[in-house]
Amino acid sequence: MIRLNVFIQAAEGKRAEILEAAKELVAASLKEEGCVAYDIFTSGTRGNVLMFCETWKDQASLDAHANTPHFKGLLPKIQRLGVLKIESFPL
Which pLDDT does position 11 carry in this prediction? 97
Q: Is residue 39 within 8 Å of 53, Cβ to Cβ? A: yes
Spell out the domain ranges in the chain. Answer: 2-90
Can you give the pLDDT at residue 32?
98
Q: Is the pLDDT of residue 59 over 90?
A: yes
Strand order in the sheet with 35-42: 35-42, 49-56, 2-10, 82-90
pTM for this one? 0.91
Q: Does domain 2-90 have CATH number 3.30.70.100?
A: yes
